[in-house]
Amino acid sequence: MTGLANVQFWAFVGVVAGIFTIFSLGLQVQFGFAGLLNFGHVAFMAIGAYTMAILVVKTGLSLWIASLIAIAVSMGFGLLLGLPTLRLRADYLAITTIAFGEIVRYLALNEQELTGGPQGTINLEGAGAAARYNDEWLDFQRTVQGWLEVLLGDNATRDVTMLVIVWTVALVAIVLLQILVRSPWGRVLRSIREDEDAASALGKNVFSYRLQALALGAALGAVAGLFFAFQFSFFSPNDFEPLTTFFAYVIVILGGTAKNWGVPLGALIFGFIFAGTRFLDVWPLNTFDSAERAYLRLIIVGLILIGLMAFRPQGILGKREELVVE
Amino acid sequence: MSERDVILEVEDVHKSFGGLAAVAGATFDVERSSITALIGPNGAGKTTLFHVVSGFYKPDHGAVRLDGERIDGSPTHRIVRRGLVRTFQLTKALTRMSVLDNMLVAAPAQPGERMWRVFATPGAVKRREEEVHERALELLSLVGLERLADDYAAVLSGGQRKLLEFARALMTEPSLVMLDEPMAGVNPSLGVELLEHMRELQRERGTTFLLIEHDIDVVMTVSERVVVMSSGAVIADGPPDDVRRNEAVIDAYLGSPHAHEEVHEIAGESSS
Ligand SMILES: Nc1ncnc2c1ncn2[C@@H]1O[C@H](COP(=O)(O)OP(=O)(O)O)[C@@H](O)[C@H]1O
Ligand SMILES: [Mg+2]
């Protein structure tokens, strides 16, 4: 593969960035708007992907219904985490989510009957059955590809089609969130983020808003999980390491906390680093083997974060005024 | 005795922190459409009592009634929706929001505060927003902050933040407003205007005010009734002229750090 000029490579970068945009928007709602520290966001992605795959493969449910149920299940888990913790102090949520993220991954590893265990969804119910959700998705993708061919001709490859689908969903999510942030609902959330006592003294039900933010973020995490499943066909518990949550924080902070358009920007930069270090075969990257490149990725992410904190602590699109420390 | 129309009843409220009894047997009531002052030396438990009445703390013992119904133990937001709003001694301006947004967020009955209504009934959301916007500007100009409406509240001085909190509390369309030292740090001429506005709201809308205030002149001129707390308990309660001559009140102030000035002020032997 010869790097930068390769369309496949860019399409892959774009799809990864799109999935991470949707995933990080979920964290944006929770952390950026509501000030909730969720350190187990990756679990919502895992729940979304696994619920859909298990339902389609084991019960023969249609992909679309299974996907909707997967989103609902993920939201249900969000509420389950929030109900006991958010009435106390916001940091109890943080502690609980750290554990939650790992519990979900360990369950996926150990409940072989249900999840396929360490080998992942390929082991769900024999190799043939595992392809069911992929087939249904590919059917849909081919339909969209047909429409795109009218516009793009031969350029409408599978990868480009996936790119268009993922980014359509990502952009719709951004626009809807943008409307929400600017609405009175978003205003209440901002007031809670800054000072929950002030918000409740003005008649706002702080607990309810936090739960809503948690559930909405969980839904977006699940949608990202669905696309992850469609893009990579088979997945395993290893795809849902805690590091993925950390990447979402990097993206949100990179773009500017509480700035919706910062998320795709951060995700594109991140997607490039993520995919770039994996694929680019140019000097000096070709002097490292792939395991070393994975570390290199983290080092680059770290350097970018340090640079950003030094020169633009509010993120690329953030406003400095909203960063004031009293 | 004539029939009294009581809006707030505080009955034998106790609240301790560990071994420290911050409020220890506070009993008094507030008459509807009155301006009542709550005074007492520092540490008397006034702010703690506000926290209990507004639902931030659950009392260890005792009852609080608003319009005859128990509100102790109810969450703060429900109490606010029943018409009781309070401000904070240490102001809680939302500094990362504009002054105007501070006002708008306080408005009740905005359908757009429900997520689904934002998308389902944008027209109703917009209409309510316009109504509320008008009222917000009106109140801001009343406290002299209209020119700062679009600035972040972080730029406001301490006194301006007190004024913003006062105006913001009124945005909730309250029937009872509890103000914790509303004049502290406020420019005196604006303070006078603030008092005038309280009287106006009292007259025109029948709004009730309960204020904690240290300036004895303010207390004596504006309030119809004074409740005095000391060491967590209510030790006197009555018209300003009776209270200033009350032995227990003078004793209580003698025990406080600023005893001498305050006793002179209370007894009306002002040195100025
Ligand atoms: N959260 C708290 N924890 C412990 N002690 C407190 C707390 N809040 C108030 N106190 C104490 O309770 C007493 C009454 O305080 P406060 O209600 O603020 O008095 P006031 O407003 O009349 O000056 C003081 O001795 C204060 O130190
Ligand atoms: Mg006080």
User: How confident is the model over A61-98, as pLDDT tens digits?
Assistant: 899 999 999 999 999 999 999 998 887 776 788 888 98
Per-residue confidence (pLDDT) for residue A303, from 0 to 100: 81
Segment B72-93 mean pLDDT? 94
pLDDT beyond 70 at A39: yes
Residue-wise pLDDT tens digits, A262-278: 888 888 888 877 776 66
Is residue B22 in contact with ligand 1, taking CB distance under 6 Å? Answer: yes
Segment A107-129 mean pLDDT? 79
Segment B84-113 mean pLDDT? 94
Query: Which is more confident, A281 or B269?
Result: A281
| Residue B96, phi then psi, degrees to nearest 5 | -95, 10
Per-residue confidence (pLDDT) for residue A90, from 0 to 100: 66
> Are A43 and A321 spatial neighbours (Cβ–Cβ below 8 Å)?
no
- Whether residue A201 and residue B54 make contact (CB cut-off 8 A), yes or no, is yes
> Are A174 and A17 spatial neighbours (Cβ–Cβ below 8 Å)?
no
How do the domains of chain A map onto residue ranges? Answer: 3-240
Out of A116-130, A217-231, A282-296, least confident range: A282-296
Segment A36-41 mean pLDDT? 92
Q: What whole-number distance in Å separates Cα of residue B244 and Cα of residue B265? A: 9
Per-residue confidence (pLDDT) for residue A191, from 0 to 100: 95
pLDDT beyond 50 at B1: no
Segment A111-121 mean pLDDT? 80
**What kind and span of H or E run contains B39?**
strand B35-39
Whether B77 contacts chain A with CB within 8 A: yes
Quick one: which atom of ligand 1 is closest to the CA of B44?
22
Q: What is the mean pLDDT of chain A?
A: 85
Per-residue confidence (pLDDT) for residue A120, from 0 to 100: 80
Per-residue confidence (pLDDT) for residue A208, from 0 to 100: 95
- Whether residue A190 and residue B88 make contact (CB cut-off 8 A), yes or no, is no
Contacts of A199 in chain B (CB under 8 A): 105
Which of A176, A183, A190, A204 would you mutate first to test chain B, the one with the most B CBs within 10 A?
A183
- Whether residue B125 and residue A322 make contact (CB cut-off 8 A), yes or no, is no
How far is residue A304 CA from its own chain's centroid?
20
Per-residue confidence (pLDDT) for residue A127, from 0 to 100: 66
pLDDT beyond 70 at A304: yes
Neighbours of ion ligand 2 (CB under 5 A): B 47, 89
Per-residue pLDDT band at B255 (split at 50, 70, 90): low
* Global confidence as pTM: 0.89
Q: What whole-number distance in Å separates Cα of residue A219 and Cα of residue A145? A: 27
Per-residue confidence (pLDDT) for residue A5, from 0 to 100: 60
Residue-wise pLDDT tens digits, B151-175: 999 999 888 999 999 999 999 999 9
Segment A100-107 mean pLDDT? 90
Per-residue confidence (pLDDT) for residue B191, from 0 to 100: 84
Q: B233 pairs with which residues across the strands?
A: B230
Is residue B139 in contact with ligand 1, taking CB distance under 6 Å? Answer: no
What order do you get walking across the sheet with B20-31 strand by strand?
Answer: B20-31, B6-17, B61-66, B69-70
Per-residue confidence (pLDDT) for residue B61, from 0 to 100: 93
- Whether residue B104 and residue A199 make contact (CB cut-off 8 A), yes or no, is no
| Number of helical H runs and strand E runs in chain A | 14, 0
Per-residue pLDDT band at A326 (split at 50, 70, 90): very low
> Are B153 and B94 spatial neighbours (Cβ–Cβ below 8 Å)?
yes
Segment B204-221 mean pLDDT? 88
Per-residue confidence (pLDDT) for residue A118, from 0 to 100: 81
Contacts of A185 in chain B (CB under 8 A): 112-115, 118
- Report which DSSP code applies to A33: I
Per-residue confidence (pLDDT) for residue A72, from 0 to 100: 98
Share of chain A above pLDDT 70, in %: 90
Q: What whole-number distance in Å separates Cα of residue A228 and Cα of residue B97? A: 37
Task: From B5, B29, B35, select the one nearest B202 (Cα to Cα).
Answer: B35
Out of A7-16, A41-50, A161-170, least confident range: A7-16
Whether A179 contacts chain B with CB within 8 A: yes
Q: What share of chain B is helix, strand, coil (3-state, %, to 5)?
A: 45, 25, 35
Q: Answer yes or no: CATH 3.40.50.300 is held by domain B6-92+174-267.
A: yes
Q: What is the mean pLDDT of chain B?
A: 89
Is residue B230 in contact with ligand 1, taking CB distance under 6 Å? Answer: no
Per-residue confidence (pLDDT) for residue A134, from 0 to 100: 81
Is residue B17 in contact with ligand 1, taking CB distance under 6 Å? Answer: yes
Out of B2-11, B113-122, B242-251, B262-271, least confident range: B262-271
Which residues lie below 8 Å from residue B81, measured CB to CB, with a gap of 6+? A203, B108
Which residues lie below 8 Å from residue A270, measured CB to CB, with a gap of 6+? A17, A20, A247, A250, A251, A254, A301
Per-residue confidence (pLDDT) for residue A224, from 0 to 100: 97
- Proximal ligand: closest to the CA of B53: 1
Which of A185, A192, A210, A320 would you mutate first to test chain B, the one with the most B CBs within 10 A?
A185
* CB nearest to B92's CB, from A188, A197, A324: A197
Q: What whole-number distance in Å separates Cα of residue A148 and Cα of residue A294? A: 35
Residue-wise pLDDT tens digits, B174-208: 999 999 999 888 888 888 888 888 998 999 999 99
Per-residue confidence (pLDDT) for residue A132, from 0 to 100: 78
pLDDT beyond 70 at B266: no
Segment A186-191 mean pLDDT? 95
- Whether residue A195 and residue B113 make contact (CB cut-off 8 A), yes or no, is no
- Proximal ligand: closest to the CA of B231: 1
Q: What whole-number distance in Å separates Cα of residue B166 and Cα of residue B177? A: 9
Considering only CA atoms, which residue is closest to atom 18 of ligand 1? B47
Is residue B155 in contact with ligand 1, taking CB distance under 6 Å? Answer: no
Segment B248-257 mean pLDDT? 69
pLDDT beyond 60 at A324: no
Domain with CATH 3.40.50.300 in chain B: 6-92+174-267
